[in-house]
Amino acid sequence: MKRIAITGIGVLSSIGNGKDDFLQGLLASRSGLSDVTSFDVTDYPIKKGAEILPIPLPESDAYEDEVVKKAFIAAEEALVDAGLNDCYAPQEIGVSVATSLGGINSRVKYYTERKNKGKSDPSLLLHVPTSNIAGSLSRYFHFRGPNSTVVTACAAGGNALGIGADFIREGRATAMLVGGVDPFSMISFSGFTVLRSLSPNVTKPFNEYRDGLTLGEAAAFLIFEEMEAAIERDAPIYAEFLGYGISNDAYHITSPDPNGGGALRSMSAALKEANVAAQDVAYINAHGTGTPYNDKMETKAIKDLLAERQTNVSISSSKSQLGHTLGTAGAIEAIVCTLAIKHRFYPATIHFENTMDHDLDFVPNETKEGEIQYALSNSFAFGGNTASIVIGKVDGP
């Protein structure tokens, strides 16, 4: 099976824009939580979110809406970081993007404006499909390889990375731009408010008194390359994408299987494809939403996976810093794992007070130094969708 090198990273987030600032935000255990500015939250009980830090957006007509513009910025950084310019023929490079809402903000805006004017607008055809993001990136960068959009809710990021890796392993592409982007939307904010899933204070994953999640926003992209091709062109290699697993709870549309069945199956499948034993995992980037049911389910699944080795593995939730970035979560948390492996640290779970499980190390409040040979990252979603990925260290400087 062909090996997959991670050679480029690009990110926009609430704790730092650009790979370097994002890394510093992780190392400093920075919180991205702040007052919501994307829309008026006066009538909402929750006023906080984790929005992308302010950044100038492109004005060109080539970008159909704000979420595409943010995707472009992060994608371009990843491509420059990898030094991918003119390395491969256009048909050798593909795009695999994750999202849950795509250009929903533009769709609502355009529909409302045109409805009020009593007119239709053909430009809606550009804004309605969520596939517009992947198509726009392919068109702008002139990539003519495989093009895919994944919308399996909050598991989409992990799925998009796995699909991108499969395209390379199957010989359909030599390199893939993989990642995710989602807007900070009134629709998702309203939906999670109605579900009473949002924390009235700050999200506190794996705390005994956790009380909900914080919604976040991000654009996160990585460059995957066939390992031999990356080595041949002397590309920078951060880490290796080793495998992924997907499953479904088949339990409930919004609630996870309390026994963690889907979570355990996806983690086990990812490790099997990666040819990594559970006892060799050093770090788990948990889904870790901070909701009572998810964290309880996930810790059970992790303990079932690790068995007697559960006390020797460090587990943290990036959502304590970044909020829940929905379809982007699996992609940006893969970047967290990649940077942690490369720079030899364990990311923290911030806002940590009273642990819900004294058997497990949740890396409370501050990062810690340490080598990570293998990292496992989880993304679980509405509809029972579960996805897990494995990233490993590559020997060398």
The catalytic residue positions are 154, 287, 324
Residue 190: its H or E element: helix 186-194
User: Rounded to an integer, what distance in angstroms lies between the CA atom of residue 29 and that of residue 314?
Assistant: 16
**SS3 of 57, please?**
coil
User: Rounded to an integer, what distance in angstroms lies between the CA atom of residue 130 and that of residue 98?
Assistant: 9
End-to-end C-alpha distance for the chain, whole angstroms: 25
Q: Pick from 225, 214, 161, 148: which is nearest to 184 by CA? A: 214
Using an 8 Å Cβ cutoff, are 33 and 324 in contact? Answer: no
User: Rounded to an integer, what distance in angstroms lies between the CA atom of residue 76 and that of residue 294?
Assistant: 34
Residues in the chain: 397
**SS3 of 10, please?**
strand
Using an 8 Å Cβ cutoff, are 152 and 381 in contact? Answer: yes
